[in-house]
């Protein structure tokens, strides 16, 4: 793998690091290959936390006082298709929100987590969903990447 990553488990409920790496590894590889970056050298941090911590982070950085499922913090500004820097950035995920959403959407926890990891990675690679056009592009990439590792379309009902 061309991107090394650290895993920090800061809350109860998450699987152990080895199990999380089994989920992350194919997602990371499929994302990089789909974006044409099979040969990059970079680093990434994944933080698996809880609603309390992500609410504080969301409040501090986005001025939104509520928990969310995933937050991404790029280390360097990058545009879609642009070669990323030596550090991609950080992805932070909240256990309770991921678990609740998976249950509400009748998805497996691991599949929903996989979707959110890909979503976070795409943000680090310069993709966004602020406009309809951006959202369509990003969702299309998510669907394609996830299908490559056997996760069904997260946007289908």
- Per-residue pLDDT band at 40 (split at 50, 70, 90): confident
Bridge partner list, 89: 44, 74
Q: Is 63 annotated as a binding residue?
A: no
Q: Is 53:66 a contact under the CB 8 Å cutoff?
A: no
127 assigned to some structural domain: yes
At 93-148, the pLDDT tens digits run 999 999 999 999 999 999 999 999 999 999 999 999 999 999 999 999 999 999 99
Q: Is 119 annotated as a binding residue?
A: yes
What is the torsional sign of CA 126, 143, 36, 148?
A: positive
Q: And the tokens for 139?
A: 């969702």
Cα–Cα dist 112/145, whole Å: 13
CATH number at residue 49: 3.40.390.30
Q: Is 129 annotated as a binding residue?
A: yes
- Per-residue pLDDT band at 38 (split at 50, 70, 90): confident
Counted domains in the chain:
1
Tell me the residue range of the domain where 105 lies. Answer: 3-148
What local confidence, expressed as pLDDT, does residue 82 receive? Answer: 92
């Amino acid at each position: 793998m061309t991107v090394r990553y650290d895993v920090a488990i800061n809350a109860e409920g998450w699987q152990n690091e080895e199990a999380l790496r089994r989920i992350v590894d194919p997602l990371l590889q499929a994302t990089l290959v789909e974006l044409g970056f099979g040969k990059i050298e970079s680093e990434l941090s994944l933080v698996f936390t809880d609603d309390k911590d992500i609410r504080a982070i969301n409040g501090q950085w986005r001025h939104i006082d509520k928990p969310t499922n995933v937050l991404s913090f790029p280390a360097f500004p990058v545009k879609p298709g642009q070669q990323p820097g030596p550090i991609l950035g950080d992805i932070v995920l909240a256990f309770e929100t991921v678990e609740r959403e998976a249950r509400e959407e009748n998805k497996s926890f691991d599949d929903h987590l996989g979707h959110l990891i890909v979503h976070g990675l795409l943000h680090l690679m310069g993709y966004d969903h602020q406009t309809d056009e951006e959202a369509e592009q990003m969702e299309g990439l998510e669907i394609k990447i996830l299908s490559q590792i056997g996760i069904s379309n997260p946007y289908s009902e």
